[in-house]
Structure 1
């Protein structure tokens, strides 16, 4: 899952690294935590690292208890002395943004004899039980009483549990390589106060050492900490866009190449069995029935490719299966099913398997929507095919262009063909590039071999096929800086963002 930062020379380390893990109530999600004494550079694994102990539990246990403390165990279940590990879980599903903060300080106390202090800052959230939860630890700025720390980002949930009035505590230390850091000073604030004083141009706090203040009547502070920058990035969800009126337009493209087999033959992938839908129909109905809930007019474009079509029986790679080129839309999923069944006896299955023309056709419509500058229309193209595309170069080019548009492409491979080459279009393992080397702006293609889900329920099939779409919708509108309609970005806020 991940690795924390290295805390040097400490027997009681508090790690600031936060891990985001998806939680599924219906699954047992086992986790293992291992602690090492590292001898390598910060953040890098070294084979010489010493194993200090591990702990296993389930995510459900942490979620239920919110805070789990367990002994660290060595190999064969032996206790690692009195060592323990504490894991804290928080629900961030309601998180609606993240904060970008930048701090600097001036005239800090000098704690070193032969040089200046090496200051770093720790930001803590004060919990309901008055305990402190580390939110972020800055880097160390060497030999500087007026340090400028690097900006950092933190979710609103991690910062203040989405409660802007929750107390926050900042501590400033002089770094010591042996782990015995010297305390310089502290101050307390809230995120609400941070925003107010930053807007007013007075974002500065005295850095106070309580011991000095108590002992010295003339003591004022040990320096000052300045909030140099504050940006709040609101993060919208897929549901925000849908509830804001964004419509999902669904287009299906069906492979009518000869490799499917004669539709009159029961072995054909296009064979219409009155008692059992073929793979094309299964994929079409399971995905379409979900998409139609997000389309107000319930009309879907239905296209075909790779067939000779009437009246001249010339090969076409983007024909309307209802044979109405002026209006290729069908009434609901049932209308698409009927158009498909009526189309089969009227066309001659041929080839090749070219899908770039259909991708480009849908992209032209999506491009017109992009120019409106609103989060109102998003396009999903479902391509059902029985083999690897033959116009791979043109398809890659078309996908890269489409990656800049409000559009997602789902490719379902039906039948038992070898679809290995199709995985190149799914950018999960790397960035898809056009033949000219231009990278896709975002991953918009999801490829699913139907045979892996052949015996799955329609709901399971749809869940797998549509899994990436909500993220892709949010990524697109976040990249464009478009908020859901009806949700204006308040003055002073940054543009909407997306945290993967």
Structure 2
């Protein structure tokens, strides 16, 4: 289904500034993704002082006969026989699931000023490309202008499809429907830097009118989390406190005071146990993450077939005391079906947390790199709405905190080549 919408832009009152044409086409539900690699041979020389700097531009044909760019390869410098890197593209983007629809490929010589020189073109289809699974496919690169001008013109080189493979792209929901169980564990910071819980300045202080920062973060994230946890039982721990009866420092004490079964029923059960612990333990220190990370990692290591996935939610106020051990624990856990969410509360600087969240640089420990990025960090203060709309603020917090979990779960399944089980049709 193709639609056209025409709109006139009026940036300056009373003056027409141009026309915007919006075209839309209904996407197919094809979930296949293609990985392919191409090379070229004897392309035309376009540069005066060198050879050529070739790259390919792929176009999907639309229902109305127009073409839309769907992929560009990298530029391979100074060669007439380039080999491009393999690339991956959804079949939806390449041909919208129509295997016989034309796919046009242009070959260009890259120029620094952006006026890239056209070398030639060729056309194919998904169906034709897929034959390369059993044989190399060679395409002649033709330049229509040269063909018209030169009688002896043969081609402007050839492009060879070296490899072509297809696999299905599964979603987070596919795994959940297929029976993958999400198991959430909560760990709360009980170190003295949070302040005495009885004092209004404490991050653990709960007034008769408002929940503490810890309780707010736990409730905001937990109420969404519990919808994905089938048994609604959450192991919940505290760390960095002296616990009764002997007053020993613990970094993984159960909030419900039950070492045999630390699970609480629902997020309300976790909140209740958390408030009870505040009345019975002594806030102390240091701020050690590694023990509780290793605790959850030990559980995650018991079932690695994709039927179970663990998420550890850590709520903390400050600087990690055992940074080296924490890095080591995360690097080890990165090969397991597990993710870690860290919510930072209070005014502290959280540079160390940003380092653990390997979005920019992959986390490493003792020369060993994390297999996957499994940590998501968010500072709670970024979600305190000055207008006082607490519901909206906590919804934004929960959304950003959980944003990376689906991708992290998928990355684990992909590295282990685990496909979702078919959901029970009932």
Q: Could you tell me the TM-score, scaled by structure 1's length? A: 0.67
**1:19-58 maps to which residues of 2 (within 5 A)?**
none
1:403 aligns with 334
Q: CA separation in 1, counterparts of 2:145 and 2:193?
A: 83
Q: CA separation in 2, counterparts of 1:334 and 1:118?
A: 62
2:268 aligns with 334
Q: CA separation in 1, counterparts of 2:45 and 2:380?
A: 67
**1:71-470 maps to which residues of 2 (within 5 A)?**
96-103=31-38, 123-136=58-71, 147=81, 149-156=83-90, 157-170=92-105, 181=118, 188-195=123-130, 197-201=131-135, 203=137, 226-370=160-304, 374-434=305-365, 436-455=366-385, 456-457=390-391, 458-470=394-406
Q: Deviations over 1:271-326 (max 9, x none)?
A: 34343211111111111111111111110010011122222221111111111111
Task: Call closer, same or farther: CA 1:143–1:402 in 2, change over 3 Å.
Answer: closer
Contact 2:171/2:410 (<8 A) preserved: yes
Give 5+ residue unaligned stretches, structure 1.
1-63, 71-76, 488-500
Q: Deviations over 1:369-421 (max 9, x none)?
A: 22xxx322221111112221211221122122222222221222223334344
Contact 1:433/1:439 (<8 A) preserved: yes
Q: Could you tell me the TM-score, scaled by structure 2's length? A: 0.77
Task: Call closer, same or farther: CA 1:126–1:310 in 2, change over 3 Å.
Answer: same
Q: CA separation in 2, counterparts of 1:421 and 1:141?
A: 40
Task: Call closer, same or farther: CA 1:229–1:429 in 2, change over 3 Å.
Answer: closer
Q: 1:461 deviation in Å?
A: 2.1
Q: Deviations over 1:86-127 (max 9, x none)?
A: 99888989673432223456799999xxxx999876643322
Q: CA separation in 2, counterparts of 1:276 and 1:420?
A: 29
Q: CA separation in 2, counterparts of 1:281 and 1:226?
A: 60
Q: CA separation in 2, counterparts of 1:266 and 1:211?
A: 79
Q: CA separation in 2, counterparts of 1:441 and 1:224?
A: 39
* Partner SS for 1:428: coil
Aligned length: 403
Give 5+ residue unaligned stretches, structure 2.
10-14
Q: 1:338 deviation in Å?
A: 1.6
Q: CA separation in 1, counterparts of 2:195 and 2:43?
A: 79
Q: CA separation in 1, counterparts of 2:86 and 2:24?
A: 21
Q: CA separation in 1, counterparts of 2:322 and 2:355?
A: 13
Contact 1:100/1:151 (<8 A) preserved: no
Contact 1:376/1:485 (<8 A) preserved: no
Q: 1:174 deviation in Å?
A: 9.7
* Partner SS for 1:381: strand
Contact 2:185/2:310 (<8 A) preserved: yes
RMSD: 4.4
